[in-house]
Amino acid sequence: MKPVNQRAWLLILPVVLCVAFSAVLPLMTVVNYSVQDIISPERRVFVGTEWFASVMRDEELHSALWRQLGFSLAVLLVEIPLGILLALCMPATGWRASAVLVVVALSLLIPWNVVGTIWQIYGRSDIGLLGAALARLGVDYSYTGSATDAWLTVLVMDVWHWTPLVALLCFAGLRSIPDAYYQAARIDGASRLAVFRYIQLPKLRGVLMIAVLLRFMDSFMIYTEPFVLTGGGPGNATTFLSQYLTQKAVGQFDLGPAAAFSLIYFLIILLLCFVLYNWMQRVGSAEKAEGLHG
Amino acid sequence: MARIELELAHSYRPDPRTDEDWALLPLKLALRDGGAYALLGPSGCGKTTMLNIISGLLVPSHGSVRFDGHDVTHASPQQRNIAQVFQFPVIYDTMTVAQNLAFPLRNRGVPAQRIRARVGQIAEMLELSAQLDRRAAGLSADAKQKISLGRGLVREDVSAVLFDEPLTVIDPQLKWQLRRKLKQVHRELKLTLVYVTHDQVEALTFAEEVVVMTRGRAVQTGTARELFERPRHSFVGHFIGSPGMNFMPARWSEGWIEVSGQRLGPVSEATALAQALEFTLGVRPEHVRLAGPGTPGALPLPVRQVQDLGTSWLVTAAGEGSTAVRMRLPRELAAPRAGETVWLQLLGPHTCFYKDEELIE
């Protein structure tokens, strides 16, 4: 029989404590709130899954969820192709490459709320460059008045803010393709399109996966920029999930439903993470197997 | 198919000054239509640069490239109609093996039926038929390199097929097999083949003519026999053969050659040597013969080491402060023992003399 050494438990104790205090216990507090109706700190009633049921039935939440999914999808549909295109256009070497890299990365260095403020001013039809220019051109544009305009502005703002991330990832991916591939393509008489389709795109698969994951997660949790720009309006046009949650928890102080919704939100993100992570793992292991051979 | 003439020099730097700045020093080379050539030399000697210039991936900084007399210096690989296989397998990951092989043909608008037939032939030859419908990405390095080779060979009308150390990643056993295939292709299709390698065995078995290169210079072009028996440059003597040629400083002394204070003779190339005065004597280990003790014109040296090579003895002999002489003796002879003094006949029909690394003729 193998001797069993119980001391190992002692050694992992610090980690257990760390994780407990930083993640598990705070989460449990939320779980605690989600199953109780807290009337005052002294008076609380256990309500079971009632909050969950009511949150799940909440029409506002449904529309916020659909809005959120639509937004994230739009973000991916615009930012991924645009990022690839940008990376393809960026110079590969020399001082130009460095200069372009800095310029492209600039928007990534700006804090979220500043981005919101920049666009808030930029889009104003009285003093903003974009708003005023559009007004001069006779376009009836107002991100505070029109739901479509607000939605488009938030989307364009996100594209402006985050496409460079996709571009930088793709740029790195493109640089790691050995020259021999391009030489072989020239020898094989491949067109520019074929080079993209059969060499660059397949080789970018890994970084694109990361880009998709990052952009999906980030856009799914977007809060600050639309909060600063539109405050979720007009109406509910740009109220995304996290903003809805803040309204519930901080605005109305409905801790029970907010906690229940937090958990659901968390589970949605966890689920999507899980799906994407597994997808990436599968592709990654396929590539690793390939790497072992090649 | 084409006769290829090169008269060029190449530098990756904008203003080359010393010899080191040149990737290829000025050279003139003609490759016969339908010939099988090898560019042989150590790493960094400029052979891949030369290959890329022939294929059109690289435009030489000076001089020109001619195909059948037409100047193609600035023509693309596609215009030159060149096929090239690279050192490491290049495959299109998302395609099947068959699609990979068909790619060069498809890009040129060859009819589908013709493509299918040709891909079938090439796959048959390279023993890839069973894997035609598999995704190329999942295959072994060997198989991937075979696909690369296949893509190089799939077009029948090419001016030349260029190979840049294509068998580096391949198992030794499969290497022989593939090299035989390439020779077979050469015989059947009469394509001009240019094969870059640093492996002399590979070069000598593959090519009809070998271009030996070192430090950006093509020092000799010749058949295996010429390179072995009459190296025109001391580098060729040193690089070809295993072990390479023995070199000894020598000087002319009144009708004799003086090596390590000993007079060797008799000498046939007297006039040229008398003119050179000081030169280097080169003789291959295979051409050194044993002479009887006291033979006039032979060099007595103590034996340092005797190695059993299985089919022959490799004997190393060296005097105090003199260059070591290695010789290969047939197994039938009794090997001399270490410490024993042997008398070596260094002069013979295949003994070469070099002045400033160039052969004295």
Q: For residue A129, count other CB atoms closer than 10 A to its CB.
A: 11
Report the alpha-carbon distance of residue B347 to residue B267 in Å, rounded.
8
Calculate how close chain A gets to B279, using CA atoms only, in Å.
45
> CB-CB: which of A180, A202, A293 is closest to B86?
A180
Q: What is the pLDDT of residues B258-269, one digit of tens each?
A: 888 788 877 776
What pLDDT is attached to residue A291? 47
Q: What is the pTM of this model?
A: 0.77
Q: Cβ contacts (< 8 Å) between A194 and chain B: which residues?
A: 107
Residue A289 pLDDT > 60: no
Rounded Cα distance, A185 and A294, in Å: 19
pLDDT-derived band at A63, boundaries 50, 70, 90: confident
B71: distance to nearest CA of chain A, Å?
A: 19
With a CB-CB cutoff of 8 Å, which residues 51-80 of chain B face chain A?
A: 52, 55, 57, 76-78
Residue in chain B lying closest to A292 (CA): B140
Per CB-CB distance under 8 Å, the chain B contacts of A179 are none
Whether the per-residue pLDDT at A84 is higher than 90: the answer is yes
What chain A residue is nearest to B52 in terms of C-alpha separation?
Answer: A183
Q: What are the domain boundaries of chain A?
A: 32-293
pLDDT recorded at residue A145 = 82
pLDDT of residue B269: 67
Distance CA B345, CA B73 (A): 51
How far does A178 lie from chain B, in Å, by closest CA? 9
Q: 290-329 in B: which are within 8 Å (CB) of A?
A: none
> Which chain A residues are Cβ-neighbours of B92 within 8 angstroms?
198-199, 202
What mean pLDDT comes out for the span A139-146?
82
pLDDT below 70 — which residues of chain B?
1, 269
How high is the pLDDT of residue A78? 95
Mutate which: B55, B85, B92, vs A, most A CBs within 10 A:
B92
Does residue A282 or residue A153 have the better pLDDT? A153
Contact B151 A188 (CB under 8 A): yes
CB contact B93 to A (< 8 Å)? yes
Segment A195-249, tens digit of pLDDT: 999 999 988 988 888 898 889 888 888 888 888 888 777 877 888 888 888 887 7
Given a cut of 90, whether residue A17 has pLDDT beyond it is yes
Parts of chain B belonging to CATH 3.40.50.300: 4-238
Average pLDDT, chain A: 85
- Among residues A152, A164, A47, the alpha carbon closest in space to that of A101 is found at A164
Q: Which residue of A has its CA nearest to B78?
A: A189
Burial B1-24 (b: 16+ CB within 10 A, else e): bbbbbbebbbbeeeebeeeeebbb
pLDDT at B196: 92
Measure in Å the smallest separation between the Cα of B157 and chain A Cα atoms: 13
Give the pLDDT of residue B94.
85
Query: What is the three-class DSSP state of B46?
Result: coil
Q: Where do you find CATH 2.40.50.140 in chain B?
A: 246-359
Is residue A136 scored above 50 in pLDDT? yes
pLDDT (mean) for A185-203: 90
Distance from CA of A181 to the nearest CA of B (A): 6
- Element at B312 (helix H, strand E): strand B312-317
Task: Report residue B262: phi and psi, to 5°.
Answer: -105, 145
Q: Of A178, A190, A198, which is closest to B94 when you measure between CB atoms?
A: A198
Q: What is the pLDDT of residue A103?
A: 92
Q: What pLDDT, in 10s, does the model give residues B133-190?
A: 888 888 888 888 889 989 988 888 888 899 998 888 788 888 888 888 888 888 887 8
Closest partner CB to B95 (pick from A180, A189, A198): A198
Q: Does domain B246-359 have CATH number 2.40.50.100?
A: no
Which of 3.40.50.10260, 2.30.30.100, 1.10.3720.10, 1.10.10.10 would CATH assign to domain A32-293? 1.10.3720.10
State the pLDDT at residue A285.
63
The CATH homologous superfamily to which domain B4-238 belongs is P-loop containing nucleotide triphosphate hydrolases (3.40.50.300)
